[in-house]
A and B are shown apart, each in its own frame.
Chain A
Amino acid sequence: MNSGLVQKHEVVRRAARRFCEAELRPIAKEVDQEARFPWEVAEKMGKLGYFGMQVPRELGGADLDSISYAIVVEEISRVCAALGLCITVHNSVGVYPILAFGSDEQKRRWVPPLARGEKIGAFCLTEPNAGSDAAGIESTAVRDGDGYVLNANKVFVTNGGIADTCLMFVRTHPDAEKKEISVVVAERGTPGFVVGDLEDLCGMRANPVSSIRLYDCRVPLSNLLGKEGQGLRIGLAALDTGRMGIAAQSTGIAQGALDEGLRYARQRRQFKVPIERHQAIQMMLADMATLVDAARLMTYRAAAFRDMGRPFSQASAMAKLYASEASCKVTDLAVQIHGGYGYSKSYPVERYYRDARVTRIYEGTSEVHRMVIARGLTG
């Protein structure tokens, strides 16, 4: 990387950090406790390019590279992981598949409002009986004249409660035995599009995760993304990018917990000295910093591969696996440094601890990631 590139990334980091510290830090605790999506901040972010980070300028985006994207997601998540989740899911698995697989007409129709944050994107794959086994989905799209009739029951949809433009993974072959999966876009407001109750989650509470159900929801044939049967290909391409985003998010959560752990260790005194002087605490801080650094480097490597046009599937899977597990360890240690106060809502580390846990589950569990990585090794 030449120095010009690094300098650009520093400007990206400073811009995102200042915005998050000024706008997001003051409300991060409150939106978690109230399980409220911070629209007041999201609207500002929409005007500042955060919802179209990798969208070309002609479609209203910020046209950033993948490393910049990872940096921004990291910085948001360092302060408020639930909004980091909204942004990464929207940008990666919500908008990117339309850019990569959509026709020019589809891009012109859907991308500009998504890039400005006027509409929110969602990726609807998981069903009650299909998660890790993506091919097992039961939702259907049946051709009927000039449209599809969709019936779907999608659960744990990130951004579900606020999503306008939803990529629905559905079976399109009339023969139920044939598992032909396609992606059809369903838009909120279409008759038959129903948003279910919000999930009452352990962490990421400011993100309105919900189910989305489609009951005989009729959409034009032009809402098909790519071709019929391309669904898994689109899904896998989206997830490669999405996983990089979750790796960045996990890195940000871990960095936020490290910052809090360090701050507390400097101010808390026991045995007449700040606890940062105790070797037991120093060991924890050293492990935390090392885990964060490794997670960050793996994330940026995956992003750099993507920017270079190199295959990055394996790097992205490894980064997501490592960073998510690192964020759980780091947040756990941050709670430990805080002692009893860490278990209380008086300090933010308990939120980081709750938020980190799901990173090992969504966008592919750690176990699925190990499966993917092993497959990359053994072929």
Chain B
Amino acid sequence: MHIIVCIKSVSLTAGSEGALRSYDAVEVNPFDRPAIETALSLREAMGGRVTTLSMGPESTLTSLMEALAMGVDRGVLACDPAFAGSDTLATSTVLAAAIRRLRPFDLVLFGTRTSDSDTGQVGSQTAVLLDIPLVGLVHAIETTPAGLRVERTADHFVERYEITLPAALTIQSGSVQPREIDLASIGPAFEGDKVAMWGLKDLGLSREQVGDAGSPTRVRSISRAVQQKACEFLNGNPLEQADELMRRLAEAGMIG
């Protein structure tokens, strides 16, 4: 079984403009680590191999190395200056092209969302581009002779699906506890050439499909959300205060 896990390196200082991009300012998106763990557990149960795939600048390599130290077999970084500015659609285009190049594959796993931009779109868009079935927010997986039986919870209903492979899943973050890295596995992760870097040409894409050019959406600005809290004291005796409170809540449409 060949499982591909798509991961993202996220910034720990997202949204704070001018913050120093220090050596430890990025990490593997915490919502992707359960997907890595799921892939490793499936491999332990059924054999096969696990590839992690990411798109990003060269600093993303550290996250792919981290995945190798967790036990992944190889990593692929889609890296090209042309990819800069990609929105979720352009990102999915790049990932889908890389996944096609990684054929044959059986399963593509994603986290449900990212801790920085948090759109939750990349998994489903990539599955559509690859024309494979996708089940989102999966928290349990069983193997069947025909493929997989997966379970997810949506709107207080537990849904079970039987899917044939190849398929894509997004993994519910609380469903598994990602393993910690054994310090002894870090050295071996760097032995041999386990990570490949693929650019625009390797993926057979044109400039119009990726980066700013391939992105129908634009981020106009990012600013820190400010929570406005105000405290006001009501006057009068407790009965009057209660009446005033009820009046204001009703006026604001919060009660009644």
Interface residues of A (CB under 8 A from B): 4, 6-8, 10-19, 22, 44, 47-50, 53, 57, 61-64, 68, 72
Contacts and interface: CB of A to CB of B under 8 A. Distances in A.
Secondary structure at chain B's binding surface: helix, strand, loop or mixed? helix
A61 B186 CA distance: 12
Contacts of A22: 180
Contacts of B62: 7, 10-11, 14
B54 to A, nearest CB: 14
B24 A13 contact: yes
B24 A10 contact: yes
Given A7-B61, A11-B69, A13-B24, A44 B183 contact: no
A11 B184 contact: no
B183 A12 contact: yes
Contact of A17 (B24, B65, B187, B189): B24
Contacts of A15: 66, 69, 180-181, 183, 186
A302 B190 CA distance: 24
Nearest to B68: A11
Secondary structure at chain A's binding surface: helix, strand, loop or mixed? helix
Interface in B45-67: 61-62, 65-66
B182 interface: yes
B32 to A, nearest CB: 13
Most B Cβ at <10 Å: residue of A10, A49, A57, A63: A10
B157 interface: no
Interface in B180-203: 180-184, 186-187, 189-190
10 contacts: A7-B62, A8-B187, A11-B186, A14-B181, A15-B66, A15-B180, A18-B181, A48-B181, A63-B187, A68-B183
Interface string B153-191: 000000000000000000000000000111110110110
A48 B24 contact: no
A8 B195 CA distance: 14
Nearest to A23: B180
A18 B180 contact: yes
Given A14-B24, A64-B186, A19 B65 contact: no
